[in-house]
Amino acid sequence: MSYKRKLLTIGSTVMLTTGLVTLSQLDAQIVEAREEVEGTQTMPTAIKDNHSKVTSEEEKAPQTTPDTTEKDDSVEKENKGDVTKPTTDKDGEPEKPVTPDNGGEVVDPTSDPEKPVTPTNKTGWDGDSYYIDGEKVISKWLEVTAKDAKDDETTYWYYFDENGLRVTNKWQGAYYLKDNGQMASNEWIFDKDYDNWFFINEDGTYARYTWKGSYYLKQWGEMAKQEWAYSPTTGWHYFNPDGTYVQNKWVGAYYIKQWGYMASNEWIFDKDYDNWFFIKEDGSYARYTWKGSYFLTKWGEMAKDGWAWSPETGWHYFNEDGTYVQNRWVGAYYIKQWGYMAQNEWIWDNNEWYYMTPKTGLMATGWTDVNGDIYYMNANGTIHHGLVYDDERAGWYYFDQKGLLKTGTIDLKDIGITVKTDKEGKISSDVDYLKKINRTIGWFKDREGKVTYSMAKRNGPDSYDCSSSLYNALWNGDFKTRITYAGTTENLYKEKGYLFKEIDARDIRRGDVFI
């Protein structure tokens, strides 16, 4: 039990005192009031200098240790109602109160004292922090209800940093904390730092090496976009800028099939190129190589309906279905067995020899040198035998039964004369008759395929029936003048020194005139 305060009634004014001093010369009746309180004794309010009134605002003072001594009831009863006079000095003024020694520290009586810390055992949210039994959660994961939760059943995982603040919009290991601090789960999240999307599994870890619809999550969880990405289960794929997979399209030397799978070790048909391609095991297209009877060109297309060149096997010609041509002519070229084009070699076809040139494989015509042997090949590529007149060289040349050019003295047994040549094989003897024969032959060659048995046209410019054709040919060759003789043709030309005789097919030579 202690005294809280004493009240002095001064006229109509009530004043407070500490009990240490008595206000001077006051005609007043002291009324002592006691109030039993527990705890501390409150210090008096400050008194104005004029001592006329109490300040309008009470000031709080630090608490003092309460009086715990036992009261003497007998003393209390004896002093009840007695008034203690204030002590005065020699001049009759009241003595000033003694200022307590506080070590020289000046105390501002108007300032608020520090509030005592109230012990707490709180568990729950406080701002962005969480407490358990009054202890702040620091640097750890915690599964609790949301800060603004309306029920106690739904909980979320949070991570609190070294300052005890919940982490937001940030990765914590393989887990992502959203803007409200809750760990992401079974949802897509966009990370501005990575400028990419991630899918978070139900357990909170990021998905990796897996598909989510048309999107693929890579090794570190980022969504693949505008790049190649490898899946351990489905292989290589290529992705558009928006993350969707490419399909039915070339990406460089690689072809992406339907559903985004990269072609490998297989044939694929591209509608844009209207052609087949073979894709190797590494995914790139095959080029300059064979696959069975089919050849893949420089850009990977299957060769078809045309020529194609192989660095290893040379030129080949292909049918419309892509198979190679063999054992037949393609224009002036000959394709041998297995599709190889003949080059620098002789070809026996249809009972005739043909020579295929070394560099191009083109069938030889005209003058042809084969390892130093000189041949003259007809326009259709066959070997020429007998006399030939070369307009460019302006001379006659003779080729034997093998087709070789003859030089020196030549016995032309088939026509019964002997001629001489220079070292180039050009006949230097009088060959006026040879010129006539050549003109006769030339006349027939110019009209090859035009001769007919039509009697209606026998007198036409090309002498269409056989007899008139022979007449005009001989006249053109200067063998006869345009006159008509009675008798046989044989006798007619025998008079001019030309021999007409019957021969069989084995004796036929160029320059023979048939009747």
Q: How many CA atoms lie within 13 A of 21 on its CB side?
A: 13
In whole angstroms, give the CA distance from residue 257 to residue 265. 13
Residue 374: closest CA among 360, 361, 390: 390
Q: For the chain, how many residues are written?
A: 515
Torsion of CA 255, 258, 263, 266, to 10 degrees: -120
Q: Write out pLDDT tens, residues 9-49.
A: 333 334 433 443 444 443 444 344 333 433 333 333 333 33
39: alpha, beta or left? (left if phi > 0; alpha if psi -120 to 50): left
- Can you read off the two tokens belonging to residue 189? 């999240």
- Can you read off the two tokens belonging to residue 129? 């922090």
User: Are 107 and 99 contacting, i.e. CB atoms less than 8 angstroms apart?
Assistant: no
Burial class (CB in 10 A: 0-12, 13-18, 19+), 59: middle
- Can you read off the two tokens belonging to residue 42? 């409150």
How high is the pLDDT of residue 316? 97
Amino acid at 468: S
For residues 372-383, one letter each, b for 16 or more C-beta atoms within 10 angstroms of the residue's C-beta and e for the rest, the string is eebbbbeeebbb
User: Are 507 and 500 contacting, i.e. CB atoms less than 8 angstroms apart?
Assistant: no
User: Are 318 and 295 contacting, i.e. CB atoms less than 8 angstroms apart?
Assistant: yes
- Can you read off the two tokens belonging to residue 61? 């003072």
How high is the pLDDT of residue 203? 96
In whole angstroms, give the CA distance from residue 360 to residue 343. 7
For residues 152-186, one letter each, b for 16 or more C-beta atoms within 10 angstroms of the residue's C-beta and e for the rest, the string is eeeebbbbbeeebbbbeeebeeebbbbeebbbbbe
How high is the pLDDT of residue 437? 67
Burial class (CB in 10 A: 0-12, 13-18, 19+), 347: middle
Give percent helix, percent strand, percent coil of the chain, each to the nearest 5. 10, 30, 60
Looking at residue 438, the DSSP 8-state letter turns out to be: H
Separate counts of helices (H) and strands (E) for the chain? 4, 34
Looking at residue 470, the DSSP 8-state letter turns out to be: H
Residue 266: closest CA among 236, 293, 291, 230: 291
pLDDT values of the chain reduced to their tens digit, one per residue, 515 residues: 333 333 333 333 344 334 434 444 434 443 443 334 333 333 333 333 333 333 333 333 333 333 434 434 443 434 444 434 344 454 554 444 444 454 555 445 455 555 555 556 789 999 999 999 999 999 999 999 998 887 778 999 999 999 999 999 999 999 999 999 999 999 999 999 999 999 999 999 999 999 999 999 999 999 999 999 999 999 999 999 999 999 999 999 999 999 999 999 999 999 999 999 999 999 999 999 999 999 999 999 999 999 999 999 999 999 999 999 999 999 999 999 999 999 999 999 999 999 999 999 999 999 999 999 999 999 999 999 998 989 999 899 999 999 999 999 988 876 667 889 999 999 986 666 666 666 666 666 676 666 655 545 555 555 444 555 566 666 665 555 555 444 555 566 666 666 656 666 566 666 666 55
Domains and CATH numbers, the chain: 1-116 (no CATH), 124-209 (2.10.270.10), 436-507 (no CATH)
Q: Write out pLDDT tens, residues 416-427.
A: 678 899 999 999
